[in-house]
Amino acid sequence: MTEQEYQPHAEEERREFAAESESLWRLTLAPVTWALHLVLCYATVSLACARQLFPVDTARIWLIGATVLALALIGWQGWRALQQWNVRNTGALSHPEGKAEDRHQFLGHATFLIALISAIGTVFTSLPLLLLEGCR
Amino acid sequence: MILRRTTPPRRPEPQGTYPPTEAMLDEPVPEDLRKAQAGRLRAAWKAPEGWRYWSAVNNTEIGKWYSLTAFFFMLCAGVLALIIRLQLAVPESGLVSSDRFSQLFSMHGSAMMFLFAVPMFEAISILMLPGFLGSRDMPFPRLSAFGYWCFLIGGVFVLGSVLFDAAPRAGWFMYPPLATEDEGPGSDIWLLGLSFIEIASIAAAVELIVGVLKCRAPGMRVNLMPLYAWYVLVVGGMILFAFPPLIAGDFLFELERSFDWPFFDPERGGDPMLWQHLFWIFGHPEVYIIFLPSIAIAAMIVPTVAQRPIVGYSWIVLSAVGTGFLSFGLWVHHMYTTGLPGLSLGFFSAASEAVVIPTGVQLFAFLATLVAGRIRMILPMLWIAGALAIFTMGGLTGIMLALAPFDFQVHDTYFVVAHLHYTLFGGMVFPVIAGVYYFYPFIAKKMLSERLGRWAFWLIFTGFNVTFLPMHYTGLIGMPRRVFTYREGLGWEIPNLISSVGAFVIAAGFVVFVWDLIRPKGDQPRISRNPWKAGTLEWAHDVPEESWGIRSIPHVTTRYPLWDDPKLLDRVDAGRFYLPDAQEGHRETLVTSVIDAEPILIQRVNTPTWITHLAAIFTGGAFIFPTFHLYTPGIVSGLLAVASIIWWLWTSTARPPEADSKDAGLGLRLPTYVSGPDSTGWWAVWITMLGDATAFASIVFGYFFYWTAQPDFPPPGARHAGAGAVALACAGFVAGWVFTVAARRLNRAGRIGAARGALALAPLSTAGGIAALIVAVLPLEPATHVYPALIWALAVWIAVHAAVGIVMQLYCLAGSFLGKLTPRYDADIWNVSLFWHFFVLSALVACALVGPVARLL
């Protein structure tokens, strides 16, 4: 393929796949949700067990609620990313070309995968909430 | 002096054709023009000669020194390990004393982690990254140089202490109260020496992140970046969030050591657990900070071996980003036996298991690439194969250790020692050596010996397993780590002896490797330019060596330009691409946009200098003198360091250029000066401040940690900081911020006089804020209890930052009067305002914690 074919008209591309300078941040939204969820779990259990501000069983119920919320957020991110990846229409699993369209789909693809691992991480983190009791 | 209002000047935009057309690229460059351009470029980038060689700042020089220094420290730390193994070879050995043994293992761990593993990543990245990205140099060469000299001074100081029987001896993680109560300078040497090196690491992180985001070859969109660049980006980000908690921990620790402020002393309300948290919030991500860039080397080698593009590029990006994040959720697995609630342990145990998924994904992507390709078995691949085998073993024992009940049994035994060496050798040492073999032709324009390389591999691989495999068993039968000797009859004799023999086999392997590195290679025939037939840009290097980095900066449209574009090399060499010339004799590189790498600026890159050495020496003094309680020389040294850094910035950064824009080649005209988010400097400040904010957040974490874990924080009836004075301090800092931001706007609008007025008022109000803050906390006695100590620590943190803020405001004021800062050339005030945005936020948080929140708790 020649250089010419790689580079469609810049104006056309710009309209369709605007430069997305925020998309590197979007890449991190799902794992940031996971991180906040972990910190929330850890802090809440500490406040219940060390500071005894509220009973730990109440904390567990709140945190399970927070987990559902976190998973919903991550799922929403993943859904948006899946749209952006657009794999069902293009079938593109690899995005190796220097076109804005490839970059656009690649960022969707990567964000989707990262949302997936964040969801798995969040489920893992919340398993102790379901399986363990008390402050022991 | 002109004080009237001037119209805001028009800022130049990139002009001309981009991307270049095939017809433009086909146009030949006349032979004589080509020669003249190459001559000028060569002259501009010529490395200094004779003793001036050491003033070089080019990434190739700094990168070589950096990696050799880190490697030398590694060999020293290896020798310490050999003495450890000699001592443990037989029971009740008297080779070294208990005290000396403690120094040996503390120093072995600290040096391997802080003087080898992390700096080696920075060194390799500084050396290689411009090659990968098709850039001429890193964006801030003098910052790399400063970081290197800091590292050298700090490293020699810390490692040298072992020769004077004064080395730290409380283990590489320095747990209080052992470390805080320890007499002698050992703990201070560890703290101050390593804080100094951490600063060098953060400098490197700034350099590398900005390099990846802003200095890629035109057209290298984020989906085309070499995978190494993705890893560097992730690791740079991790450094910003991992190192600052340790810096904050060091800050508290040193305040306790020097002034007896009881942060970790339970008798006065402190808590040693805070150190453990801060250390491991740093310490666990650090393991991945070491691992990811090393595995990134594998991501560069594997496609070459398979002679095909990597399989699952997006998956590897997932893997890097996912591992980077999840690695921050593991820290408590180092603290399973500290009595935390079972639920809390569960969260971290789960996260420790989850991190296996992204870590495994990249290994499978490598295997898939190998399966799908036609493998050409080259020597570096042997080392990668060894790395994968050993790392997988370490990973499997890691899964075991992540289970809290199993960890209870083997905590602090040799099982842990075996596990961590498997992960670090497999995850770092082997891939890095693979990288040395693979990139040696790029670095030194020579080849290493295939035969010696195989010898070194089999010696180190065998020796490694002989040393560390038995340690799993030694640990399981109960031998604790860090004991300097053991009694006969416990069944520990044979496995220890085997381990000791193995250690010397590893050493023999390293001797072969070192010999291969340093043996004279003058008679070797000239190597081919791309000896491994790789596809990435670094192999467009020049043989024999040229110090310009790349002859002209190519326009890139694929992930493996050398494979996909057969005309690329000729065009690079002909100077057909961007910046083929150095007409004014300046060093320059292209700055491109973050996502799509569209050219936006021609960046002047700095030249050899001695100011970085001076700055590093004085910074070193500021850290080293206090170790021996020599505070006056320490303060003088610190002031001189500040002066040298100001001199350096003033004389060589953000100077107004001769022309507003210039020709970049291929019919493209680019600006030569930008300010704000387009500029590299603004990003550097942003990134630095993110790290700084993390350190501050760690101290805030400490505040709430004490409140949660201690019944008397603040103690009943405690004296609080004066409410009125805190409110005044808050007002002073906010006013300082308002004036700074106003000055930026006024200056850009051309109202220079008003801008100067604002810049004069800003330091005054900030100074007022500092004074009020000191008045507020002065009645509190920090040595009596952790509450007043922490209030003081917050105040010290804010006051020091405010002082830096004042220096910045005065710098801009001076710049405005002396023509460095004008409505058109205003990068300095943009960067200073950015600092102030961060500072005013932390000042508000601190004032709230010191004033109202403390009264509410």
ipTM: 0.90
Reported as a single tens digit per residue, the pLDDT across B607-649 is 899 999 999 999 999 999 998 889 999 999 999 999 999 999 9
What b/e readout covers B45-78, taking b as 16+ CB neighbours within 10 angstroms? beebeeeeeebbbbbbbbbbbbbebbbebbebbb
Mean predicted confidence (pLDDT) in B203-223? 93
- Report CB contact under 8 Å: B556, A136: no
Q: Could you count the other beta carbons within 10 Å of the beta carbon of residue A126? A: 24
Query: Longest Cα pair distance anywhere in chain A, in angstroms?
Result: 68
pLDDT reported for residue A3:
39
Mean predicted confidence (pLDDT) in B806-811? 97
- Indicate whether B573 and B626 sit together in one domain: yes
- Report CB contact under 8 Å: B326, A31: yes
Tell me the pLDDT band of B199, cut-offs 50, 70 and 90. Answer: confident
pLDDT of B11 over the 80 cut: no
**How many whole angstroms separate alpha carbon B114 and alpha carbon B196?**
11
Chain A residues 62-81 with CB within 8 Å of chain B: none
* A102 neighbourhood in chain B, CB within 8 Å: 221, 223
Note whether B555 and B19 are within 8 A (CB).
yes
* Ranges of each domain in chain A: 28-131
Which of B622, B640, B671 represents a domain boundary (last residue)? B671
**How many whole angstroms separate alpha carbon B341 and alpha carbon B352?**
17
- Indicate whether B740 and B604 sit together in one domain: no
Q: How many structural domains comprise chain B?
A: 3
pLDDT of A99 over the 90 cut: no
Tell me the pLDDT band of A12, cut-offs 50, 70 and 90. Answer: very low
- Is the CB of residue A3 less than 8 Å away from at least one CB of chain B? yes
Q: Could you count the other beta carbons within 10 Å of the beta carbon of residue A112? A: 22
Determine the distance in angstroms separating the CA of B654 from the nearest CA of chain A, rounded to an integer. 25
Pair of tokens at residue B786: 């952790």
* B707 neighbourhood in chain A, CB within 8 Å: 51
Note whether B161 and B189 are within 8 A (CB).
yes
Evaluate whether residue B550 is within a structural domain: no
pLDDT of A1 over the 70 cut: no
pLDDT of B746 over the 60 cut: yes
Determine the distance in angstroms separating the CA of B762 from the nearest CA of chain A, rounded to an integer. 33
- Report CB contact under 8 Å: B19, A135: no
- Report CB contact under 8 Å: B357, A41: no
Residue B768 identity (one-letter amino acid): G
pLDDT of B658 over the 90 cut: no
pLDDT reported for residue A20:
62
Picking from B342, B346, B708, the nearest residue to A46 by CB comes out as B708
Chain A residues 26-45 with CB within 8 Å of chain B: 27-28, 31-32, 34-35, 38, 41-42, 45
What's the first-to-final CA gap in chain B, in angstroms? 55
Determine the distance in angstroms separating the CA of A125 from the nearest CA of chain B, rounded to an integer. 5
- Indicate whether B720 and B843 sit together in one domain: yes
Note whether B211 and B219 are within 8 A (CB).
no
**How many whole angstroms separate alpha carbon B201 and alpha carbon B114?**
9
Helical (H) or strand (E) element with B592: strand B588-592
Which of A42, A44, A56, A126 is most worth mutating to test chain B (most B CB atoms within 10 A of its CB)? A42
Tell me the pLDDT band of A5, cut-offs 50, 70 and 90. Answer: very low
pLDDT reported for residue B196:
81
**Residue of chain B minimizing CA distance to A8:** B19
**How many whole angstroms separate alpha carbon B563 and alpha carbon B536?**
8
pLDDT reported for residue B668:
93
What b/e readout covers B397-426, taking b as 16+ CB neighbours within 10 angstroms? bbeebbbbeebeebbebbbbbbbbbbbbbb
SS (H, E, C) B292-320: HHHHHHHHHHHHHHHCCCCCCHHHHHHHH
Evaluate whether residue B294 is within a structural domain: no
- Indicate whether B632 and B748 sit together in one domain: no
Determine the distance in angstroms separating the CA of A80 from the nearest CA of chain B, rounded to an integer. 16
pLDDT reported for residue B3:
41
- Is the CB of residue A17 less than 8 Å away from at least one CB of chain B? no
Reported as a single tens digit per residue, the pLDDT across B106-131 is 999 999 999 999 999 999 999 999 99
Measured in residues, chain B has a length of 857
- Indicate whether B507 and B405 sit together in one domain: yes
Note whether B252 and B563 are within 8 A (CB).
no
- Is the CB of residue A46 less than 8 Å away from at least one CB of chain B? yes
Determine the distance in angstroms separating the CA of B341 from the nearest CA of chain A, rounded to an integer. 5
- Report CB contact under 8 Å: A35, B328: yes
- Indicate whether B470 and B603 sit together in one domain: no
- Indicate whether B658 and B735 sit together in one domain: no
By CB atoms closer than 10 A (0-12, 13-18, 19+), residue B200 is: buried
Mean predicted confidence (pLDDT) in B177-196? 88
Which of B234, B328, B347, B559 is most worth mutating to test chain A (most A CB atoms within 10 A of its CB)? B347
What b/e readout covers B374-393, taking b as 16+ CB neighbours within 10 angstroms? eeeebbbbbbbbbbbebbeb
- Indicate whether B564 and B457 sit together in one domain: no
- Is the CB of residue A13 less than 8 Å away from at least one CB of chain B? no
pLDDT reported for residue B590:
93
Note whether B130 and B228 are within 8 A (CB).
no
- Indicate whether B538 and B514 sit together in one domain: no
Which of A1, A2, A3 is most worth mutating to test chain B (most B CB atoms within 10 A of its CB)? A3
Note whether B540 and B569 are within 8 A (CB).
yes
By CB atoms closer than 10 A (0-12, 13-18, 19+), residue B318 is: buried
Mean predicted confidence (pLDDT) in B214-221? 94
What is the residue-wise DSSP string for B429-445?
A: IHHHHHHHHHHHHHHHS
Chain A residues 99-118 with CB within 8 Å of chain B: 100, 102-103, 106-107, 109-110, 113-114, 116-118
* B22 neighbourhood in chain A, CB within 8 Å: 2-4
- Report CB contact under 8 Å: A110, B329: no
- The DSSP call for residue B719 is P
Q: Which of B79, B161, B149 is nearest to B112 (CA)?
A: B79
Determine the distance in angstroms separating the CA of B594 from the nearest CA of chain A, rounded to an integer. 7
Picking from A7, A114, A126, the nearest residue to B19 by CB comes out as A7
What is the residue-wise DSSP string for A56-119?
A: HHHHHHHHHHHHHHHHHHHHHHHHHHHHHHTHHHH--S---BSSHHHHHHHHHHHHHHHHHHHH
What b/e readout covers B673-708, taking b as 16+ CB neighbours within 10 angstroms? bbbbebbbbbbbbbbbbbbbbbbbbbbbbbbbbbbb
Determine the distance in angstroms separating the CA of B536 from the nearest CA of chain A, rounded to an integer. 13
Note whether B318 and A114 are within 8 A (CB).
yes
Reported as a single tens digit per residue, the pLDDT across B486-524 is 999 999 999 999 999 999 999 999 999 999 999 999 888
Reported as a single tens digit per residue, the pLDDT across B226-264 is 999 999 999 999 999 999 999 999 999 999 999 999 999
Q: How far is CA B236 from CA B209, B248, B403, B541, B590, in A?
A: 6, 19, 30, 26, 21
Enclosing domain of residue B724: 711-856
pLDDT of B50 over the 60 cut: yes
**How many whole angstroms separate alpha carbon B628 and alpha carbon B634?**
10
Evaluate whether residue B442 is within a structural domain: yes
Reported as a single tens digit per residue, the pLDDT across A30-76 is 999 999 999 999 999 999 998 889 999 999 999 999 999 999 999 99
Residue B424 identity (one-letter amino acid): L
Pair of tokens at residue B74: 């590694």
Q: Which of B638, B642, B569 is nearest to B611 (CA)?
A: B642
Mean predicted confidence (pLDDT) in B347-360? 93
pLDDT reported for residue A19:
55
**How many whole angstroms separate alpha carbon B705 and alpha carbon B712?**
12
Tell me the pLDDT band of B165, cut-offs 50, 70 and 90. Answer: very high
pLDDT of B59 over the 90 cut: yes
- Is the CB of residue A24 less than 8 Å away from at least one CB of chain B? yes
Evaluate whether residue B484 is within a structural domain: yes
**Residue of chain B minimizing CA distance to A103:** B223
Average pLDDT of every residue of chain B: 93
- Report CB contact under 8 Å: B346, A132: yes
| B16 φ, ψ (degrees, to nearest 5) | 115, -160
pLDDT of B818 over the 90 cut: yes
* A2 neighbourhood in chain B, CB within 8 Å: 22
**Residue of chain A minimizing CA distance to B23:** A4
- Indicate whether B733 and B666 sit together in one domain: no
* B559 neighbourhood in chain A, CB within 8 Å: 96
Percent of chain B with pLDDT strictly greater than 70: 99
User: What residue spans of B445-567 are helical by DSSP H?
Assistant: 450-476, 493-518, 561-564
Determine the distance in angstroms separating the CA of A99 from the nearest CA of chain B, rounded to an integer. 8
- Is the CB of residue A8 less than 8 Å away from at least one CB of chain B? no
By CB atoms closer than 10 A (0-12, 13-18, 19+), residue B656 is: middle
- Indicate whether B489 and B564 sit together in one domain: no
User: Which residues 6+ apart lie within 8 Å of B414 measured at CB?
Assistant: B471, B472, B474, B475, B479, B480, B481
pLDDT reported for residue B8:
52
Reported as a single tens digit per residue, the pLDDT across B414-446 is 999 999 999 999 999 999 999 999 999 999 999
Tell me the pLDDT band of A17, cut-offs 50, 70 and 90. Answer: low
Mean predicted confidence (pLDDT) in B554-574? 94
Note whether B821 and B747 are within 8 A (CB).
yes
**Residue of chain B minimizing CA distance to A110:** B314
Picking from B21, B318, B341, the nearest residue to A117 by CB comes out as B318
Q: Are strands B661-665 and B668-671 parallel, antiparallel or unpaired?
A: antiparallel
- Report CB contact under 8 Å: A128, B219: no
Percent of chain B with pLDDT strictly greater than 90: 87
Mean predicted confidence (pLDDT) in B375-379? 91
Pair of tokens at residue A45: 């259990």
Reported as a single tens digit per residue, the pLDDT across B273-320 is 999 999 999 999 999 999 999 999 999 999 999 999 999 999 999 999
Could you tell me how many CB contacts below 8 A there are between chain A and chain B?
Answer: 166
**Residue of chain A minimizing CA distance to B311:** A94
For the ranges B57-61, B456-460, B658-662, B822-826, the maximum mean pLDDT occurs at B456-460
* A21 neighbourhood in chain B, CB within 8 Å: 593-595
- Indicate whether B395 and B478 sit together in one domain: yes
- Is the CB of residue A9 less than 8 Å away from at least one CB of chain B? no
